[in-house]
Structure 1
Amino acid sequence: MAQQFFLYNPRLQIDIPHLEMKWLDYNESTQQYILEHWEKVRGMIPDKIIEFEGRINHKQDALAQEEDFEKSCQLNHEISELASRINDLWIWYRTTPEIKKKD
């Protein structure tokens, strides 16, 4: 059922919400299910950030040793892409919907 409300994002390596209706159009039990799955995903985000930070550190070490300009540029590009992923993960981590009833 999670596939119905989430899509795997290969760039971030997590499921992200993909809702076809407005949040309030889902009934309370569906909202609860979505929130429970999202909390599991959110719990994995800090580990993903640590993983990407480790990859950045590795690439920075390689960059410090690199003498070829083109390879240095490529490493800088890869570092900035990983940093962008971390930024996006933090944004998703701060996303915390709540169960709400229609009035």
Structure 2
Amino acid sequence: MDYLVFDKRLGISVPGEYVDFDSISEKELEDFWLKWEKIRGTIPDRIQELDRMMEKLQTELSFEEDFEESCRLNAQIAELASIVNDLWLLYRVSP
């Protein structure tokens, strides 16, 4: 059984919501942590990618004169920042 599910918002697989680690075998737990460590290792690259997207949007925002478009860009930046924050929290999850 795979205890990791792809999270479209974050762009990575994450531990499932209802994983009862006390009820899975030692081998399954070991496999889970090995997979998670590989995924976890990709998080800094994903954050860099999101940072580049935010920088591009911030540049667009600095030249934007239309208020509604500025609000849309600002909302996109805020969502990306929220994703980055969530990724940093997940990055700190270790066995």
**TM-score normalized with structure 1 length:** 0.87
- 1:7 maps to what in 2? 5
Could you list the runs of 5+ residues in structure 2 that have no partner in the other structure? Answer: none
Q: Contact (CA 8 Å) 1:6, 1:19: kept in 2 or not?
A: no
**TM-score normalized with structure 2 length:** 0.94
Aligned counterparts, 1:14-93, within 5 A: 14-18=12-16, 20-93=18-91
Cα RMSD, aligned residues only = 1.2
Paired residues, number? 95
Q: Identity across aligned pairs (percent)?
A: 41
Structure label with greater radius of gyration: 1
> Is the alpha carbon distance of 1:83 and 1:32 closer, same or farther for their aligned partners in structure 2, counting shifts above 3 Å?
same
Q: Which runs of 4+ in 1 moved over 4 A?
A: none
Distance 2:26 2:70 in 1: 52
